[in-house]
């Protein structure tokens, strides 16, 4: 017989503990490790017994701090594979969102009855009790640039495909370019439900619902791979305007609870909706290109990220459509932005345009395989998956020598500023390098 699902109940109301306990015990496969009204003791029991399921009530202490929420946060950080059900008096979006962001998978409004507990348990039964098989709470990777047309969708789609290929896990690909999304075109799939459909059905949304309502892309070359689940942008532009930052936050929390990886394709705006996505992301792939307007925009965006408290572990700068050039080198870009370029995707116009126009992903196109291999190595580096070692960017020494040779060749006209100098001046970051 399968191992029982082990539950811990923390609730100050004995009557509510009895409702949860009795409901769970009727399921026949649950054992209650302990139940208590004491949060500190309850957390200690969680630490010692590492259960599969925990119920926690939200309650304020005398100073007005929500102690239940603190416990949920801790569980979310240290025991991500435990499913937490929070319960509280309120039923407002803010409370629910705060709980989900802290790591709760479900929220029950008090008082509740045994049927609600039983339904909730049945909804999650399949994902419970698989032991400590790693972090079940997914990672959100969003692809962003504050300038349009730099390759966000190309990178989001191929990164999602590369993650599913590399990890053999299902990946959600969400088109949050709410007005001009084109992820479904890239993969030539018919969206089943759009972001706004999901938003309308929030009360019914759970793992099974999400997996059946998202369009499923699976490569015919690799039918055993779980593939990519696509959530398309709203069909109607007006519908997209009704989607609030809170809606986006709820949607992402749900996707994160369902899929091990969630890749988000974004638009280029800097508004509350974008900031919400960036805030909730575990990793941000910041796309730029090797030209002055792009570098200027990227600089502004990196400064904003810094102000938002994101560090270099979270924000990965990537250069798209890279072509080696003496005019602007990667070193120049890094020096100017004072930021490491994490990856560069080569320029391969014919492969990308053939893929988009024919709706055939890069790995299935003969001339797309090389570019796609860059996505595979990028993904391994991004997720910290060990594999064949790859020099992330370039041979630094070689590049510096290269640019030095170029500037030596220019020395006949010492006053003519290099393009590097122009960028440095424009951005107010002229260094001695430009004059050397």
Residues written for the chain: 436
CB of 182 to Mg ion, least distance (A): 6
Contact 133, 344 (CB under 8 A): no
CA dist 400 and 117 (Å) reads 64
Count of residues of this chain found to bind ligand ATP when the rule CB under 6 A is applied:
19
CB of 352 to ligand ATP, least distance (A): 4
Which pair of structure tokens corresponds to residue 175?
Answer: 């088109």
Q: Which of 261, 310, 345, 420 binds ligand ATP (CB under 6 A)?
A: 345
353 near ligand ATP, judged by CB under 6 A: yes
Q: Which of 268, 299, 379, 418 binds ligand ATP (CB under 6 A)?
A: 268
154 near ligand ATP, judged by CB under 6 A: yes
151 near ligand ATP, judged by CB under 6 A: yes
Binders in 164-183 for ligand ATP, by CB under 6 A: 177, 180
Angle at alpha carbon of residue 247, lines to 168 and 236, rounded to 5°: 90
CB of 44 to ligand ATP, least distance (A): 49
232 near ligand ATP, judged by CB under 6 A: no
Alpha helices in 128-244 (DSSP H): 152-167, 183-187, 195-200, 207-213, 237-241
C-beta closer to ligand ATP: residue 8 or 176:
176
Which of ligand ATP, Mg ion, none interacts with 151 (beta carbon under 5 to 8 A by kind)? ligand ATP
C-beta closer to Mg ion: residue 101 or 153:
153
CA 355 to the chain's CA centroid: 24
CB of 371 to ligand ATP, least distance (A): 6
Angle at alpha carbon of residue 282, lines to 279 and 283, rounded to 5°: 100
The DSSP H or E segment spanning 344 is strand 341-346
C-beta closer to Mg ion: residue 153 or 355:
153
Which of Mg ion, ligand ATP, none interacts with 418 (beta carbon under 5 to 8 A by kind)? none
Q: Which of 111, 148, 387, 392 binds ligand ATP (CB under 6 A)?
A: 148
CB of 232 to Mg ion, least distance (A): 13
C-beta closer to Mg ion: residue 153 or 193:
153
C-beta closer to Mg ion: residue 153 or 213:
153
C-beta closer to ligand ATP: residue 78 or 350:
350
Contact 260, 167 (CB under 8 A): yes
CA dist 434 and 353 (Å) reads 37
Of 392, 426, 178, which Cα lies nearest the Cα of 294?
426
Residue linked to tokens 């407002």: 92
CB of 176 to Mg ion, least distance (A): 10
Q: Which of 321, 375, 379, 424 binds ligand ATP (CB under 6 A)?
A: 321
Residue linked to tokens 């709760």: 104
Phi and psi, residue 125, nearest 5°: -55, -40
CA dist 265 and 164 (Å) reads 16
The DSSP H or E segment spanning 310 is none
- Contact positions vs ligand ATP (CB under 6 A): 148-154, 177, 180, 268, 320-321, 345, 347-349, 352-353, 356
């Amino acid at each position: 017989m399968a191992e029982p699902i082990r539950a811990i109940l923390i609730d100050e109301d004995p009557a509510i503990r009895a409702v949860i306990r009795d409901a769970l015990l009727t399921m026949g496969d649950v054992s209650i490790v302990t139940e208590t009204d004491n949060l500190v003791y309850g957390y200690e029991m969680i630490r010692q017994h590492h259960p599969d399921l925990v119920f926690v009530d939200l309650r304020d202490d005398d100073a007005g701090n929500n102690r239940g929420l603190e416990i949920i946060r801790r569980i979310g950080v240290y025991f991500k594979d435990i499913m937490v059900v929070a319960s509280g008096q309120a039923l407002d979006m803010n409370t629910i969102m705060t709980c989900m962001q802290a790591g709760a998978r479900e929220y029950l409004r008090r008082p509740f009855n045994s049927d609600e507990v039983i339904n909730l348990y049945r909804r999650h039964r399949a994902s419970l009790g698989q032991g400590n098989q790693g972090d079940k709470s997914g990672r959100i990777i969003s692809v962003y640039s504050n300038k349009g047309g730099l390759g966000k969708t190309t990178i989001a789609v191929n990164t999602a495909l590369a993650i599913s290929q590399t990890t053999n896990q299902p990946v959600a690909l969400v088109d949050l370019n709410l007005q001009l999304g084109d992820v479904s075109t890239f993969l030539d799939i018919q969206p089943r439900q759009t972001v706004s459909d999901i938003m309308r059905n929030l009360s019914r949304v759970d793992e099974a619902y999400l997996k059946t309502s998202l369009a499923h892309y699976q490569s015919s070359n690799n039918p055993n791979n779980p593939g990519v689940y696509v959530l398309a942008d709203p069909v109607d532009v007006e519908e997209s305007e009704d989607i609030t930052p809170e809606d986006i936050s709820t949607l992402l929390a749900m996707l994160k609870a369902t899929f091990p990886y969630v890749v988000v394709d974004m638009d280029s705006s800097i508004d509350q909706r974008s900031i919400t996505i960036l805030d909730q992301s575990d990793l941000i792939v910041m796309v730029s290109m090797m030209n002055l307007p792009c570098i200027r925009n990227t600089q502004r965006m990196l400064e904003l990220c810094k102000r938002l408290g994101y560090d270099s572990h979270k924000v990965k700068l990537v250069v798209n459509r890279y072509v080696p050039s003496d005019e602007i080198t990667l070193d120049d870009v890094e020096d100017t932005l004072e930021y490491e370029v994490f990856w560069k995707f080569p320029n391969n116009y014919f492969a990308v345009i053939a893929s988009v126009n024919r709706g055939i992903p890069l790995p299935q196109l003969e001339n797309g395989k090389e570019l796609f291999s860059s996505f595979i190595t990028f993904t391994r580096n991004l997720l910290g998956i060990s594999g064949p070692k790859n020099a992330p960017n370039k041979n630094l020494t070689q590049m510096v020598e290269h640019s030095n040779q170029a500037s030596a060749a220019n020395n006949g006209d010492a006053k003519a500023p290099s393009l590097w100098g122009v960028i440095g001046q424009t951005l107010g970051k002229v260094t001695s390098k430009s004059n050397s």
